[in-house]
Structure 1
Amino acid sequence: MAPSASPSPGLAVTAPVHQARVRVLHPGQGLPPAGAKPGPVVYWMLRDQRLADNWALLHAASLAAASAAPLAVAFSLFPKPFLLSARRRQLGFLLRGLRRLAADAATRRIPFFLLTGGPMEIPALMQRLGASALVADFSPLRPVREALDAVVGALCRDAASVAVHQVDAHNVVPVWTASGKLEYSAKTFRSKMNKVLDEYLVEFPELGEVVPWDREQPKDIDWDTLIDTVCSQAEDVPEIDWCEPGEAAAMEALLGTKDGFLTKRIKSYDSDRNYPTKPMALSGLSPYLHFGHISAQRCALEAKKRRHLSPKC
């Protein structure tokens, strides 16, 4: 999808994402004819459930800015049995995180579409919005890969003009460039990573201004009812109250002045991390990395800045 020569005045064009992070799954048919209204760009959020430090969202914003098109975010809940193979604790954490994300997106004037009928609602949404491009996360999980293939197939069949891009926003080095073969040794894989790490371990640009949204508005979400309904169908491993979901809580776990990993906990990480009776020596970042509330690249960048504080780590 080629960029236009001149974005609209006042629109901040996001710095291009490293092209090795992007795979073009379907090229589409380029820009609309002269005088035609550009279709919006839709970011199909899957694995990386955040607005900050998100290469996939930044790429979608760059495509949108290049043609002065609006930008939207869509998230699809997977149907049974894939979704409900998770426990109540996991589902509650996911949905409560999305609730915060939707509120943050609204403050940025980015519409957030929550689709509860499964991934195959994506093509219908694209058609209703008259979208020009779809940007998807990368996930190695088979059900997600199969869903993405089905969505791409439907879009190529029903709307040949829609471009489909996939961006690896989860890994510091994109998985498809890290190695061209099945690795059996950490030693050989580590040497490959070290050669390209500086190329990819860079600071994120800011998400620029977006074109005002003038299309179909997202439906209001009754989050309390949705969370109760989804969680009631899952196995009853109870939720926890000491680990709050969302981007702000993730950054607090990483950099908080009270118990942040890089500001407090890392001092005892080297000596105490393998003791189950000393949980405060651990990072506490696993749930945030798993649901994409924080970028692994952000964690690496902040750790690099503070390496002198704990040289053994």
Structure 2
Amino acid sequence: MRGNEAVPEEIARLSEQPRVTVRRGGAPRRNGECVVYWMQRAMRIWDNPALDAAIAAGNHLGLPVVVYFSVIPNYPHANLRHYHFMQQGLRDAAADAAERGVGFVLRRAPGNRLEKLLEEVRAAMVVGDENPLREPERWRQALAKKLRIPYWTVDADVVVPSKVFGRTYFLLHHFRPHLERELPGFLVEPGNLRPASAWKQKVDSWPVERDITEGFAKLDRSVGPVESFTGGAHAAMKRLRQFVDGELAEYEKTRNKPEVKGTSRLSPYLHFGNISPVRIALEVKRAVEQGKARKSAADSYLNEMIGWRELSVLFVRHNEHYDSWECAEPWARRTLEEHAGDLRPRRYSLAKLEQGHTYDELWNAAQMEMVRHGWMHNYMRMYWAKKILEWTPNPATAFDWAVVLNDKYELDGRDPNGYAGIAWAMVGKHDRPWFDRPIFGTVRYMSGASTGKKFDSAAYVRQNAGG
């Protein structure tokens, strides 16, 4: 590629789409032989705007598309549970890639880096997905500095691209009008373009059936796979159909009843990019049109799945301290510091918390739900985090321990939603001051007595008892 070559008009038009960020511009490599989609966060083939962009560019250039995924042995805070779920998703991705007519190359870093593959296949350009977390964003920035071909990233795992807003918001009701104004333009059926040129190159690839963690000596294998969830796009779509045909109808009544399976339980699939939030929203709306659920139930669910989730992404994008006490709202920091010397009636070590060995049976059950199943009901997550704040020496330690436990055991850990949820529960993020009380100050409080009366807490404890 030469620096003074003109960018083809169609390629320029594609790069101006609202989901696309041009990390490195310029014209595609002359005599390039393919377009590469670097899959990282959006682990799916269908309903994937990043892959759609790669295929659109490839079709204009008359080139095939190949999907590249790199398994990183030391991905931040990941353990065997996460890798196992991810491998299940990669098997679906490989099968779906063949069906869609794109190549699929699976390799393991650091020996097989993206730059090496781009030269092997003589890529004309590379398209990737976005990931707002700290380390993945640094990888994207570093790659952009190294490449000599165009590199775009596509915001594929939110309904409305984050750069449309360009900022975060103090409260959900501040964000909601801006979100609702943009939704109609993005809640549309995904294109799912077909490539005009078939992928035919033979390239070394790690077999998707072979253990991707083989030889990862430093991988934490103490947290094993769970039977409660199967990873991948196929399982995600099956779960979505079950939800819209079943639990959605009673969602308003059951969403805050942890003992009842009344929620979508799609958060692990959203975290791993196995399913598009656009697809979920479209199917939920379709269920209303078909008379399977009331509009109020759909609105309640979409407020969580789109409103809170995308507010969480903006929080992470615009706050470098998203995973620590430093992200506290100023009013929350002041009040918690004022109460820093308050007596903690009970104190627990991180080990005791991890084992679910506290006096509080309800909290222990929530912790064990997460440890055993890789998932905790959202209503219990709020209570779980607030009690950690109550039982630890200071807010900074409480925040750190909540992040450690959440990221270690949750399949949907290491995610903007999780960090924002902890920040909401502990340090006032996306919330307001409440009544002043010991330890918490004016941060919202949840007592075990009142929380346990709002649902059948005894049944929930029975379901998850024992540590």
Q: Which bracket does the TM-score occupy, shorter chain normalised? A: 0.7 to 0.9
Q: Shift of the alpha carbon at 1:78?
A: 2.6
Cα displacement (A) at 1:186: 1.4
TM-score of the superposed pair, with normalisation by structure 2? 0.57
Pick from 19, 22, 46 the counterpart of residue 20 of structure 2: 22
Per-residue CA deviations over 1:110-134 (Å, capped at 9, x if unaligned) read 2211221149811121112111111
Say whether 1:121 aligns with 2:102. Answer: no
Which AA in structure 2 matches 1:166? Answer: T
Counterpart of 1:141 (choices 133, 141, 152) is: 133
Matched, 1:165 2:152: yes
Contact 1:48/1:293 (8 A) holds in 2: yes
Task: State which drifts further: 129-138 or 97-106.
Answer: 97-106
Deviations 1:192-233 (A, max 9, x none): 111111111111123213412243423242633334555982
* Counterparts of 1:271 and 1:231, CA distance in 2: 47
Q: For residues 151 and 120 of structure 1, what CA distance do their matches in structure 2 show?
A: 14
d(CA) in 2 for partners of 1:75, 1:47: 10
* Counterparts in 2 of 1:231 and 1:58: CA distance versus 1, 3 Å: farther
Return closer, same or farther for 1:4/1:277 CA change in 2, 3 Å cut-off: closer
Report how far residue 18 of structure 1 moved. Answer: 7.6
Seq. identity, %? 30
Structure 1 length-normalised TM:
0.84
Question: 1:289 Cα deviation (Å)?
Answer: 0.8
Matched, 1:64 2:51: no
- Secondary structure of the 1:74 match is strand
Whether the 8 Å contact between 1:87 and 1:237 is mirrored in structure 2 is yes
- Within the candidate set 158, 180, 196, 2:182 is matched to 196
2:278 pairs with 1:272: no
1:281 lines up with 2:262 in the alignment: yes
- Mapped to 2, the partners of 1:226 and 1:78 lie a distance apart of 9
Asked if the contact 1:26/1:164 (under 8 Å) is kept, the reply is: yes
Shift of 1:153: 1.1
Q: Name which of 205, 219, 239 aligns with 1:253.
A: 239
CA distance in 2: counterparts of 1:303 and 1:119, whole angstroms: 43
- C-alpha deviations, 1:73-126, integer Å up to 9, x for none? 01122342x34x223222100012112211222333422112211498111211
Deviates more, 1:218-227 or 1:282-291: 218-227
Higher relative contact order (CA 8 A, sep 6+): 1
Partner secondary structure for residue 42 of structure 1: strand
CA shift for structure 1 position 16? 6.1
Give the distance between the partners of 2:282 and 2:249, measured in 1 at CA.
18
| Residue aligned with 1:270, SS | helix
Residues 147 and 17 of structure 1: is their aligned pair in 2 closer, same or farther, counting only changes over 3 Å? closer
Deviations 1:270-313 (A, max 9, x none): 112222211x2111211111111110010011111223522331
Q: Does the 8 A contact of 2:101 with 2:194 survive in 1?
A: no
- Aligned pairs for 1:194-233 (under 5 A) are 194-221=180-207, 223-227=209-213, 229-230=215-216, 233=219
Q: Who is 1:297 aligned against?
A: 278
Choose between structure 1 and 2: higher helix proportion: 2
Q: For residues 120 and 144 of structure 1, what CA distance do their matches in structure 2 show?
A: 17
